[in-house]
Structure 1
Amino acid sequence: MSKPLSNILATACMLALPALAHSSPITLTAQLKNYGGNGAYLAAYLTDAKGAYVRTLWVAGGKAKYHKHLSDWSRLSAGDAKRLDGVTGASVGSGRSLKVTADLADALIDAGYEIRLDAAVEDMRDSPAEVRIPLTRANAGKPQAGKQYIQSVTFQLQ
């Protein structure tokens, strides 16, 4: 690569990084239905416009042997060695809610990304892609219904 071209490329990257690096907290709240079973395992994760895994936001349910039942998340995030670093907690009981906060780059909002939640309950049917919410300013604060175990999910941008 020629020296002038590499200098231009380096300068462009330095100018772009501050815009990409700015992040804001997002608070995600999932209200579970009274489904009458054991605590639910939930995986909240982010995908890009093509449906490819970007990162894990939170996993509720600490026993790794059950994570395979969060099938979409487990399949999509399999190559991410850090997918559980600092983002796990207890399972969520029937009728209860989960509230988590994560930092997301501002550049991801209104850029085709999606928040997804998978759900699984012991001795009950797994529910991959239980909720899918486009990460847009227009969707912030609007409850999105789940399919099986989740009553609703909302996210707030701060």
Structure 2
Amino acid sequence: MMKNNWKLLVLSLFAVLFSATAFAQTTKYKCMVQMNSYSGKEAYVVVSLMNPKGQYEETLAVLGSDNEWYKTLKEWDKFQAKKKQKLNGITGASVAGGARATKLLEFNTAKLEKGYKIRFESAVETQKYFTKDAEVTLSAAALDNREGAKGTGYIKQVRFIKVQ
């Protein structure tokens, strides 16, 4: 009898742990990317979740739908070639100089305040590539900052609005 109770307890604990990880809570932010004015083709922008060690963990969004040009985003393309993450549902149009784009970003809530960052990588055909055009710490304070984050290349600014 005691042996059966022990098995039931272990199975119950396993079920609780499995359900907690299977249904991880996510946080959603609407992200606005404002581009600097520049001449040339539209920019491709990749938004990635970077772990505390500075390594790619997940692609959150891709602005630019023609995968022929993904190789211009050199560092992300190396990660994508290994991980082979399906990009359906997170891609959109590339962004012209001076234009704005809005994308919904979703990530695991448990990663907030843990040293993760959101990296914005950009490239324009036959022009310069920016590995860290903008980078934002994955924290409530940084994401809720009305000033947003300044870019260093084609991106002028990124801002976030929490989605309820």
For Structure 1 versus Structure 2, the TM-score category normalised by the shorter chain is 0.7 to 0.9
Offset, 1:46? 0.6
Q: For 2:20 and 2:66, how far apart are their aligned partners in 1?
A: 40
- Deviation track 1:82-129 (CA, whole Å, cap 9, x = no partner) reads 241221111101100111013222111111111001101112111112
- Partner of residue 113 from structure 1, selected from 113, 116, 119: 116
Residue number in structure 2 paired with 1:125:
128
TM-score, structure 1 length as denominator?
Answer: 0.86
RMSD of the alignment, in Å?
2.2
Structure 2: stretches of 5+ with no match in the other structure: 1-5
CA distance in 1, matches of 2:45, 2:127: 14
Return 72-81 or 126-135, whichever deviates more.
Answer: 72-81
**Partner of 1:59 in structure 2?**
62
- The amino acid of 1:154's aligned partner reads R
TM value normalised by structure 2: 0.83
The corresponding residue for 2:3 is none
Name the larger-Rg structure: 2
Q: Tell whether 2:149 aligns with 1:144.
A: yes
For the residue of structure 2 that corresponds to 1:95, the secondary structure is: coil
Q: Which residue of 2 aligns with 1:85?
A: 88
Instruction: Assess if the C-alpha contact under 8 Å between 1:55 and 1:83 holds in 2.
Output: no
Q: 1:14 to 1:64 in 2, by over 3 A?
A: closer
Q: CA deviation at 1:17?
A: 2.5
Counterpart Cα distance in 2 of 1:91 and 1:15: 38
Partner Cα separation in structure 2 for residue 45 and residue 77 of structure 1: 11
Deviation at 1:54, TM superposition (A): 1.7
Partner of 1:7: 10
- Identity over aligned residues, as a percent? 28
Question: CA offset at residue 65 of structure 1?
Answer: 1.7
Query: Counterparts of 1:153 and 1:105 in 2: how far apart (Å)?
Result: 20
